[in-house]
Amino acid sequence: MASKYAEVYQGWQDNPEGFWAEAAKEIDWFTPASKTFDANEGVYGRWFTGATCNTCYNCVDRHVENGRADQPAIIYDSPITGNKKTLTYRDLLIETQALGNVMKSKGVGKGDRVIIYMPMVPEAAIAMLACARIGAIHSVVFGGFAAAELATRIDDSSPKFIISASCGIEPNRVVSYKPLLDEAIEISNNKPQATLILQREEETCDLLAGRDFDYSDEMAKAREAADSLPCEPVLATDPLYVLYTSGTTGQPKGVIRDNGGHMVALKWSMKAIYDVDPGEVYWAASDVGWVVGHSYIVYAPLLHGATTILFEGKPVGTPDAGTFWRVIEEHKVETLFTAPTAFRAIKGQDPEGEFIKKYDLSHFRNLFLAGERADPDTIHWAERMLGVPVIDHWWQTETGWTIAGNPMGLGKLPIKYGSPTVPMPGYHMEVLDDEGNPLAAGELGNIVVKMPLPPGCLPTLWNAEERFKSAYLSEFPGYYQTADAGFIDEDGYLFIMARTDDIINVAGHRLSTGGMEEVVAAHKDVAECAVVGIADEMKGQSPCGFLVLNAGVNRDHEDIKKEVVQLVREKIGPVAAFKKALVVKRLPKTRSGKILRSTMQKIADGMEWKMPATIDDPAILDEIKEVLEQQS
Ligand code: COA
Ligand code: AMP
């Protein structure tokens, strides 16, 4: 079909509030909004002010009431443990009521924060929905983070309650969560009142009497009592969750997501962007610890009445590079959403697509990629192997849904390789130079969104309104700064080329090199350091630390490097994938003392680079080159 995109986007431009008021009809509200958008509320205005609603009601109860009670809501498939389980919408209603009642019995109520530190098990999604049900604000922490990172999030969000598990399972090891949780609680200033621990059979853990409660025991009691638990009405503008994401320092940013705008935007996206109908099977192969997991493993598919896949495994090695195709065949997945790095991993192990040929993928319609730039090679390979459209789309934790994409439900637009296509309704995009002047088509600059942001995007940061303003709104007044650089071509297609800050993207995971530098610099022998993201064939980027040692240190450099690598693993977590450290004599700097990280990165990647005009001592770049050459 011819694409309706231009017409729909124009419709939004002509009447933004009318557009979102129409989309809001897809949501069941307890009381309607007094204003679709109130420019006088919040930092830059708020969506659906005055409305009351409940996200769990819209994800679960209304589907049970409207004939979907026996439809699978969540299919859990765990090749890493060999377990599979299906939860219908009715099951989800029973489970969220039971867990809501357990939390209430522990004193958790509306507005309280609950940290969820769990592996990819259905109980993680149930916990998120149960929080939504009682109006508590969840904050999910990815399992690959270490105790100190968890502690930072505990300190910032001051949770009353934590839901966790005894362990997570990685292909090469069992990850004991409980010692990490205990350590995090120990070192944090805000202690939760209680925890609820899911004991997994792969490894159980000790529970602390009076503080830790057993998930299965508590849930069994609550299920038996079978007390119903109506969904708590919350304001559309009340927070549904806080999700921490990397900023330019070691202190992560607590992105707030509200209830009303979030539901409206996600529900709209399921048909318009992903072309999914209620009742179909949709799979986001990510983790609930990331924004993709929040939006597209849990909330959007359930809001839409679709079936979502919760996959505990990896694209390769669990057990092989055919695992994605097995899941697609077995569960009749129509739409898959994952990160390009997953496809690079599969392609690396199965370049000829031998595994693909073994499975019936005839019902599979579309592959969506996001989380990092989708390199044309990977897209071409996936298209050739799967014979379906491969759609890149660009978004951020902050936005919660697509900024630019190819809205398949409105009719596919021509693909330009290397571009995530065009802005979605709600996003007026511009490219500005560093002084804030608009740039012409094709010119590279700062990609910004004209305010206000659409429904679903962050209204502010948790407990950090000034940081919200300074990080996103102050550099280009009137615009949200995406911190991505790129250009818009003459057809209005966006091209996302690089971050303008020190965030790097490692295997689709967003990490702060500034945060890693804080850890590395704390090593007793390190005088100063720089961490840069260097090109990695599979992960896109991987961090590399350049260390300048204190004068007089005469220990073996190899020992120091190993200690630094271990320190980052201990303090940030294995997910940082920090495995490479190099000792250099000096770091290249500008005359005002700024470390020239991007020049170092270009040298390390073998890219063309120009001698920065402001460099203090050009000879240092030769020293860096020499060290890199010795390593390779
Ligand atoms: N809990 C504990 N540890 C975890 C973890 C978790 N949930 N997730 C990852 N880790 C660990 C890994 O075991 C690994 O540890 P190691 O150094 O001991 O090997 C380390 O963190 C790095 O993990 P990762 O970067 O994921 O590398 P990998 O080699 O294990 O796997 C991919 C590479 C590409 C297969 C994998 O990263 C992947 O599937 N990426 C998709 C990313 C994604 O879904 N992003 C979301 C946006 S769509
Ligand atoms: P996260 O907040 O973890 O989703 O990471 C967001 C960042 O990932 C963006 O600011 C981009 O730098 C990068 N990113 C995500 N999707 C894409 C994409 N499709 N193309 C290019 N970069 C992307």
Does residue 350 form part of some domain? no
Question: At residue 298, does pLDDT exceed 90?
Answer: yes
Which residue has 């598919």 as its token pair? Answer: 301
Helical pair 597-604 and 619-631, crossing angle rounded to 10 deg: 40
394 close to ligand 2 (CB < 6 Angstrom): yes
- E strands within 190-287? 194-198, 212-214, 234-235, 239-245, 253-258, 281-284
Does residue 522 form part of some domain? yes
Reported as a pLDDT band with limits 50, 70 and 90, residue 261 is very high
257 close to ligand 2 (CB < 6 Angstrom): no
Per-residue pLDDT tens digits for 33-70:
999 999 999 999 999 999 999 999 999 999 999 999 99
Does residue 526 form part of some domain? yes
Residue 587's SS3 state is coil
Q: Which domain holds residue 525?
A: 505-631
Per-residue pLDDT tens digits for 587-618:
999 998 889 998 999 999 999 988 888 899 99
Secondary structure (H, E, C), 462-477: CCCHHHHHHHHHCCCC
Per-residue pLDDT tens digits for 271-287:
999 999 999 999 999 99
Does residue 615 form part of some domain? yes
Which residue has 């933004």 as its token pair? Answer: 16
**Number of folded domains that form the chain:** 1
- Chain-centroid distance of CA 385 in Å reads 27
Residue 251's pLDDT is what? 86
Instruction: Indicate the helix (H) or strand (E) that contains 337.
Output: strand 335-338
Residue 250's pLDDT is what? 74
Q: Distance between CA 125 and CA 110 in Å, rounded?
A: 19
Closest ligand by atom to 575 CA: 1
Which residue has 């929905």 as its token pair? Answer: 129
286 close to ligand 1 (CB < 6 Angstrom): yes
Q: Distance between CA 424 and CA 409 in Å, rounded?
A: 12
Angle at 418 between CA 415 and CA 421, to 5 degrees: 45
Ligand 1 pocket mutation pick from 145, 177, 314 by most atoms within 8 angstroms of CB: 314
Does residue 299 form part of some domain? no
Per-residue pLDDT tens digits for 344-395:
999 999 999 999 999 999 999 999 999 998 999 999 999 999 999 999 999 9
Does residue 158 form part of some domain? no
Q: Distance between CA 290 and CA 506 in Å, rounded?
A: 13
Find the 553 Cα to ligand 2 centroid distance in Å.
Answer: 40
Pick the atom of ligand 1 nearest to 506's CA: 25
Q: Distance between CA 232 and CA 565 in Å, rounded?
A: 46
Does residue 261 form part of some domain? no
Find the 582 Cα to ligand 1 centroid distance in Å.
Answer: 23
Q: Distance between CA 222 and CA 244 in Å, rounded?
A: 31
Find the 507 Cα to ligand 1 centroid distance in Å.
Answer: 7
234-235 and 52-53 as β-strands: parallel, antiparallel, unpaired?
A: antiparallel
Does residue 452 form part of some domain? no
170 close to ligand 1 (CB < 6 Angstrom): yes
346 close to ligand 1 (CB < 6 Angstrom): no
Amino acid letter for position 201: E
Rounded average pLDDT over 475-479: 98
Residue 477's pLDDT is what? 98
Find the 538 Cα to ligand 1 centroid distance in Å.
Answer: 12
499 close to ligand 2 (CB < 6 Angstrom): yes
Closest ligand by atom to 144 CA: 1
Predicted TM-score (pTM) of the model is 0.96
142 close to ligand 2 (CB < 6 Angstrom): no
Per-residue pLDDT tens digits for 544-600:
999 999 999 999 999 999 999 999 999 999 999 999 999 999 999 999 888 999 899
Per-residue pLDDT tens digits for 162-205:
999 999 999 999 999 999 999 999 999 999 999 999 999 999 99
Find the 448 Cα to ligand 2 centroid distance in Å.
Answer: 14
Nearest residue to 291 via CA among 330, 249, 337: 337
Reported as a pLDDT band with limits 50, 70 and 90, residue 620 is very high
Reported as a pLDDT band with limits 50, 70 and 90, residue 247 is confident
Percent of the chain beyond pLDDT 90?
A: 95
Q: Distance between CA 572 and CA 35 in Å, rounded?
A: 43
What is the CATH classification number for the domain harbouring 542?
A: 3.30.300.30
**Atom 9 (ligand 2) nearest CA:** 396
